[in-house]
Structure 1
Amino acid sequence: MSGDLADASGGRLDQSPANPSAAAPRARSRLVIPALGLTQIIGYGTLYYSFSILAPAMARDFGWPTEWIFGALSGALLIGGLAAPWAGRWMDRYGAARIMTVGSLAAAAALIACALAPVGIAFVPALIAIEIASTLVQYGAAFALLVQQQSHTAQRSIVHLTLIAGFASTIFWPITTALHNALSWQQVYFVFAAMNLFICLPIHAWLSRLDRPPNETGNADGTTQSTVVDGSLPAAARRRGFILMAIGFALQSFVGSAILVHMLPLLGALGLGVAGVMVGTLFGPAQVASRFINMMFGKNLSQIRLAMISATLLPASAALLLLTAPSVPGALAFAVLFGMGNGLYSIVSGVLPLALFGSEGYGARQGQLMSVRLIVSSAAPFAFALLMENIGVSWALTITAVLGSGALLAFMGIARLSSEPHAG
């Protein structure tokens, strides 16, 4: 499918020299991915990755146990997931870039509200506001923007975007740590609010001027309106295909969230506490490496096959850790496989819905899928902790690997639907 999209895009670009006035819009369109990548790094860095570093100070100031702070985060993620379908429909109706502009303003306001919260009970609704704002500015919204502005090159653009945004944790963990060494967590959140307000907001506002909502015709700067992309899944199979895709993504979210949150205690329980730092240093680069490899060599790989590879790597990494513990080389291999699986999953969550169902209604579908992923992600750490406490770490990891394997079966089911001659 991606090859067809690239060819279609190429056809459009070949016609452009006949229209010199289109050169400036094309030059601006080349800045879309770097600009959007910057806002994704800031969005994930300020609204997500910084939380684990600042949480102990938050708990101390509010007089709460640290687990209460993370419990509040889980509840906020759940509510953010419930709000995601509405966000997706707004993106289809008004344009994703406009929704991201509003989201940047909401993110800044929510961060300020968190910083100003005098007690924990006032902090919780502000944290919920952060998670709702996150659904308006992070991957789901960014993918919808790329589909609306560049539908015939969106699959490739999503890969490039995730490659850039994959550095969010690498950049913001040390930034947050350095800021927190000099500032209180409240002051750090003020700095992060300023980043969303004075960097992300202007970029998203600029991006909103490059397109119009899907229900309007023409573009403000004279660029050609994006052509609708048809999905590869036959119409009669789309309902079943969407359910299978949602199940696959939900199971991958469970594995990824459960293991990532409990990475250090999990390694310690398996006798690998000394490997924790090394595993942590490999995880991020492995995510980026998988996206780079896919960008360079995955052009002829169908999106459903990419989904299958991603769904294979996550449970395989859990199984490898279980079978090799307490081997340090085994733990390092686990980190690479787990990081690569997560890296590819970020791509798949954006490109597979487009490949299967097309660009019409993409924002609403992303909102529904984002809701499933966020709800499962919010519950997974708690469920995994219960499993470890009641049946032991080995059985908890085994169950997680089995659940992850279910994602592979779901994507294999989609591939079968695609090949059924009677499905259309």
Structure 2
Amino acid sequence: MSVVSAKASTSHILLLGIAQILVWGGSFFILAVLADPVVQETGWSRQWVYGGLSLGVLVSGLLAPACGRLIARQGGRTLLSLSGLGVAAGLTLMACAQHLPVFLLAWVVMGIGMAAGLYDALFATLGTCYGAQARSAISGITLVSGFCTAITWPIAAFMVSHLGWRGACLAYAAVLLLTIWPLYRRALPAPALAAQAPRPSQVAPEVAVNRLLYTVLTALFTLGAVLMTAISIQLITLLQGLGYSLASAVALSACLGPSQVASRIIDLLNRNGHPMWTALASVICTAVGLLLVTLGPSLVWVTVVGLVIFGAGNGLRAIIRGALPLALWSPAEYATVLGRMARPALLGQAATPLICGYVLEHQGPQAVLGLLCLLALINVALVAWLFRTLLGRGAA
């Protein structure tokens, strides 16, 4: 797909960020608000309820390469515009679920919408539209969408308190149906002529030539996604296991959001730098933050500093997912490469709740944090290898 515009405008970046807030809030993050009401009403086990999210992420991961190929051929404007319909259909089916299999089927449908509408599909579309200029758009969108949980969790909680969890699902589905299509149609340019789009056969050889680089980047993004998912889902439980009260754990968890947004603001101001520097800052902050939380549970200020540093690193992680492959592959190859890289990351995210839950139950919170620290240090080593390789080529 040829580049059809030089640069995304500020207003379009804002609209795309709002669309991402709505889709993320109605899919990946909504269970944080719905889980307790669902368990209380239905009597289904909490493990199965949270398993629905794992199933949705699994479906999204399986579909990610196909979405990447579709975007490479036709552009992603229509696919992203339809993502709201997919997530809304999943929420509607969830609202009607009287039996657990139907609830899980709703997450399968939701996973289709997630594959079409979350970061990977949007970043791939931006790469085909704007080429190297997509970096600033990616930074701006992740900055806006960094407020997702701060906006959508209170709204979802308000809906649940007034409409019940089933009514909240239907209300959120209506919001998605009314907003996502027009937001993407307004904010994304129409695709160029299909004759300009690269065929999959034109893309695959380049991926094969850079097999080692591709593998290392895929491992880097997969481990980063696993770390993000583990902390997002289990941070409050882990902090309580370290001796903090529920209120203190919730207050400490609030450190993540502001530091995540702050790091994205800093990156936006430095958007002309090579994304390898952003990747290095991300993995170092993530590892240092986790080590501080793990090694200093008896000192509140150490935990606070650790969470702030981790949040900064995690905020940058979303940017390098889109920006680093864009710096290493051409815009014509970008969408296909990004779609392929997304599958292992999403599969890792799907498995994370089960694995971390098992380790937490049998070994305790320190073992979970120790495992996460090990993964974070492996990511530092991967980025160090990338730095050495790219410096040898003069690319960084």
What TM-score comes out, normalization by structure 1 length?
Answer: 0.85
SS at match of 1:184: helix
Contact 1:258 1:384 in 2 (8 A): yes
Written as runs of structure 1 = structure 2, the 5 A alignment for 1:3-42 is 29-42=9-22
Cα distance, 1:303 vs structure 2: 0.8
Contact 2:55 2:107 in 1 (8 A): no
My pick for the range that moved more, 265-274 or 174-183, is: 265-274
Contact 1:310 1:342 in 2 (8 A): yes
C-alpha spacing 1:214/1:314, structure 2 compared with 1 (3 Å): farther
Structure 1, residues 288-322: CA drift from partner, whole Å, max 9, x if none? 111011112x2353211211111111121111011
- CA distance, structure 2, for counterparts of residue 235 and residue 170 of structure 1: 38
Runs of 4+ in 1 over 4 A off after TM superposition: 234-237
2:194 equivalent in structure 1: 215
Written as runs of structure 1 = structure 2, the 5 A alignment for 1:164-179 is 164-179=144-159
Counterpart pick for 1:365 among 337, 343, 347: 337
List runs of 5+ in structure 1 lacking aligned partners: 1-8, 14-25, 219-233
1:301 equivalent in structure 2: 273
- CA distance, structure 2, for counterparts of residue 339 and residue 237 of structure 1: 35
SS at match of 1:211: coil
Counterpart pick for 1:345 among 279, 293, 317: 317
Cα distance, 1:250 vs structure 2: 1.2
- CA distance, structure 1, for counterparts of residue 138 and residue 121 of structure 2: 12
Letter of the aligned partner of 1:408 in structure 2? V
Structure 1, residues 78-104: CA drift from partner, whole Å, max 9, x if none? 122111111111111221111112222
2:100 is the alignment partner of 1:128: no
Cα distance, 1:57 vs structure 2: 1.6
2:203 equivalent in structure 1: none
Counterpart pick for 1:282 among 250, 255, 259: 255
C-alpha spacing 1:241/1:320, structure 2 compared with 1 (3 Å): same
C-alpha spacing 1:257/1:214, structure 2 compared with 1 (3 Å): farther
Contact 2:283 2:313 in 1 (8 A): yes
1:375 equivalent in structure 2: 347
Counterpart pick for 2:172 among 192, 195, 201: 192
- CA distance, structure 1, for counterparts of residue 238 and residue 319 of structure 2: 27
Contact 2:218 2:341 in 1 (8 A): yes
Structure 1, residues 233-264: CA drift from partner, whole Å, max 9, x if none? x9896211110000111111222211221111
- CA distance, structure 2, for counterparts of residue 396 and residue 107 of structure 1: 32
Identity %: 27
2:163 is the alignment partner of 1:183: yes
Contact 1:95 1:212 in 2 (8 A): yes
Cα distance, 1:117 vs structure 2: 2.0
- CA distance, structure 1, for counterparts of residue 57 and residue 214 of structure 2: 23
Letter of the aligned partner of 1:398 in structure 2? G
2:121 is the alignment partner of 1:141: yes
Determine which structure has more spread, i.e. the larger CA radius of gyration: 1
Contact 2:143 2:261 in 1 (8 A): yes
2:383 is the alignment partner of 1:408: no
SS at match of 2:351: helix
Cα distance, 1:266 vs structure 2: 0.6
- CA distance, structure 1, for counterparts of residue 389 and residue 371 of structure 2: 28
Letter of the aligned partner of 1:418 in structure 2? L
C-alpha spacing 1:118/1:394, structure 2 compared with 1 (3 Å): closer
- CA distance, structure 2, for counterparts of residue 257 and residue 323 of structure 1: 21
Pairwise CA RMSD: 2.4
SS at match of 1:325: coil
Contact 1:40 1:138 in 2 (8 A): yes
Contact 1:275 1:328 in 2 (8 A): no
Structure 1, residues 211-247: CA drift from partner, whole Å, max 9, x if none? 21573459xxxxxxxxxxxxxxx98962111100001
2:70 is the alignment partner of 1:90: yes
2:230 equivalent in structure 1: 258
Counterpart pick for 2:53 among 70, 73, 79: 73
2:211 equivalent in structure 1: 239
1:226 equivalent in structure 2: none
Contact 2:61 2:346 in 1 (8 A): yes
